[in-house]
Structure 1
């Protein structure tokens, strides 16, 4: 395939699926799927990063491309595909709305590459990635950590005094109390504060038994 044919394929797409065109379609899909893979990994703000889910995104892009090439302009195959998908039940629960968006992105890449709309897939992916990187820089700049403190009959005033002493912006988002123990959860920003020093300071309060500082992605359940 010479340079002129490559440019023509990128602009006009593939009309007939020869072995060469099929390989080219899958090659573009693999490149874009790997691009999505890297974007997901770099912009992931969750405490736990799922390698399996990220690999699933790549697989979905490739499968979508294959499905699109199979369907083409054939109405009978497209109806059969809809019928086959309608009886499939997906049991996996996706907790992060962001992950659903990445799945749709992978499907869109597969459909675009499978139908030969390479420029749309490439330009669209670049724009989406730029938007994601811009928002990932500012999304959780206000409260980026969770402070979880456990102890016996804790008083909120003692915790607030320590946080004020370190000039840490904070907001209490949860308090669990039983007969002999208390658990407090705070959202807070740590910019130039040493976490070890902060934890040691909390342990000087005699009623505190546990202190945890956890990276925070913007949501608290409970």
Structure 2
């Protein structure tokens, strides 16, 4: 029978029916959150393992809340057990972290029996995320990139490419100069804001003519590790 108590030691009686309903609802909300994440993420750049994790997190959190109930001793025991676990993966994209917190909140709401509230705020937040993605909210109007140019050691790098950079970019700055290939070459690293009306291939071709057809790298997105 669904009314059989799963644990008689907790203050509030936990029945098989309520536990089953909690797991099903939290699992369904996890699927909704995971699908929203895939739809609002850059296609092909999300991890399948992460999307599966988003489905599992609400159900796991809901089960934990069900098991703890109002038992303070049990809550402290679980806190001690979780303090032993350590996350081996480095912190990823802030958006991924937000989705993890989103999934945890849905699981907490389901675990406390607030199914309507959990479904309401999950659907609203998913709709908000889809809308923000569609309108491309927060996107930069100009794209900042990293430009790396190799030049011979006998070439004076100061102002060597200024005329070309002024022609094809709206803003540029020389960030780093270092020797490479046993000191026979210099590597110049610029941050550049590309002019969207200019052709990038023509830009690189002019740079190649100036640096003797040595290596040129134009990174699509500027990142601190590129410097």
Give the TM-score normalised by structure 1: 0.71
Q: CA deviation at 1:48?
A: 5.2
* TM, length-normalised to structure 2: 0.70
1:153-197 Cα distance to aligned partner (Å, 9 max, x none): 57364544334323x333437323214221313242464544434
Residues 158 and 40 (structure 1 numbering): CA distance in 2 closer, same or farther, change over 3 Å? farther
Of structures 1 and 2, the larger Rg is shown by 2
Which structure's relative contact order is higher, taking Cα pairs within 8 Å and 6+ residues apart?
1
- 2:13 and 2:123 map into 1 onto residues whose CA distance is 27
Deviates more, 1:181-190 or 1:38-47: 38-47
| TM-superposed deviation, 1:55 | 2.8
Q: Which has the higher helix share?
A: 1
Larger fraction in strand? 2
2:190 paired with 1:188: no
Give 1:126-165 correspondences, 5 Å limit: 126-129=123-126, 130=128, 134=132, 137-152=136-151, 153=155, 155=157, 157-165=159-167
Instruction: Give 1:111's aligned residue.
Output: 108
Q: Name structure 1 gaps, 5 residues minimum.
A: 1-14
Q: Cα RMSD between the aligned structures?
A: 3.4
Count of paired positions: 206
* Superposition deviation, residue 94 in structure 1: 0.8
Equivalent-residue separation in structure 2 for 1:47 and 1:214 (angstroms): 19
Q: 1:208, CA displacement in angstroms?
A: 5.2
1:57 is aligned to 2:54 = yes
* 1:109-137 C-alpha deviation (Å, 9 max, x unpaired): 11112222223323333444426853882
Structure 2 distance, partners of 1:212, 1:62, is 46
Deviation at 1:33, TM superposition (A): 1.8
